Amino acid sequence: MTTEHAARRVDSWQVAQHQFDIAAERLHLDQALRVILRQTQRELTVHFPVKMDDGTVRMFTGYRIQHNLGRGPSKGGIRYHQDVSLNEVRALAMWMTWKCAVVGIPFGGGKGGVIVDPKRLSKRELEGLTRRFTSEISVLIGPERDIPAPDVNTNPQIMAWMMDTYSMHAGYTVPGVVTGKPLSLGGSEGRNEATGRGVVFCIVEAAKKIGLDLPGARVAIQGFGNVGGTAAKFVVEQGARLIAVSDARGGVHNDEGLDVSRLQSWYQEHGTVAGFPAGTSIDNAQLLAMECEILIPAAMESQITAENVGNVKARIVAEGANGPCTPDADAEFARRGIFVIPDILCNAGGVTVSYFEWVQDLNRDHWTEANVNAKLREIMVRSFNEVMTIADHEQCDNRMAAYLLAVERVADATAIRGLYP
């Protein structure tokens, strides 16, 4: 069975709720808090028309979901993908709540998506879809309410269209309504690289924790988009050797090491790492089973399941994607002593710098890249150490430790605020 087929069989929302249930039980969480935090707070489904280049009109379906607002406005990306579903967006919104809490930034979790393959749209059609979708969800979003950001198949240009659409409705420029914008529109230095950079900050700390020398360590990365491509660059700068990369269309392997700059040029030209001439072709299943020290799943959720977890040979699994490993896979990793850096910690660099961008926009300020990166490293290292302290004290795996930290913070905020009315 391919990892793509396995992913389709796993309900991400059930996974997310199961992970929460385990943490809630271990925390002896009050039953009322379990009822509240186990569900999303708001769900908006929209069906909207877009005029295509040939003059026809197509209907699209999109979602914006807010899981929890206890610690601040909701925060989370917008993804454009043909497999987007309501349950997937629910799970991603919940994971965003825990992610913001584990790194201690004052946001709740939100997420959005449109069921579309953007590669099949022209630029004009993509802009039309983005502006209409923004109009439809404008009843929920706002700089003090819910702040979208880029995710799968969305980018700074799409965020610029969203910001402009919202601003046209407001009658004045509202840069803080989205993050991940171009620098010229109030974006933050270092935002594009933030998620991948945060992944590598965590890998550096994990390597220290388990006594792994990063120079010469073999790395395999699933996904070569913003997160995987950036992580590849920074992990190689740490002296590691990138031996394998894959994406939805194929992969490449070279045990002597892949040249990241050449690989990125190939990816920019061809839209895939498949066919890169300086290595042998592999598929996603082979990538996940690669002999390596560090595996970075940085593609879609539910890629490592009960069916293929036994093939993973890495010492560190650094979750660059959201929810790439199912609970069954977690149990096997724990049994085998594989060090997992959970997604709500590992890939929180993106939302952390999104928070920095939001603060800069609200204050009409602009920070240097050195300042952004230093603040990001401080938060990621502090959060990593907080999770490790809980893991050691509670004698639990890293994901459970991250959940205990995050869920307790959100539960405390929810309990202190109380129920209205």
- With contact defined as beta carbons under 8 Å apart, do 384 and 205 qualify? yes
Long-range CB pairs of 159-163, under 8 A, 24+ apart, other chains included: 159/187, 160/185, 161/127, 161/130, 161/131, 161/134, 162/78, 162/130, 162/131, 162/134
Indicate the burial class of 347 (C-beta count within 10 angstroms; 0-12, 13-18, 19 or more).
Answer: buried
Catalytic residue among 75, 99, 111, 233: 111
In the residue annotation, 111 being an active-site residue is answered as yes
- With contact defined as beta carbons under 8 Å apart, do 14 and 299 qualify? no
Catalytic residues: 111
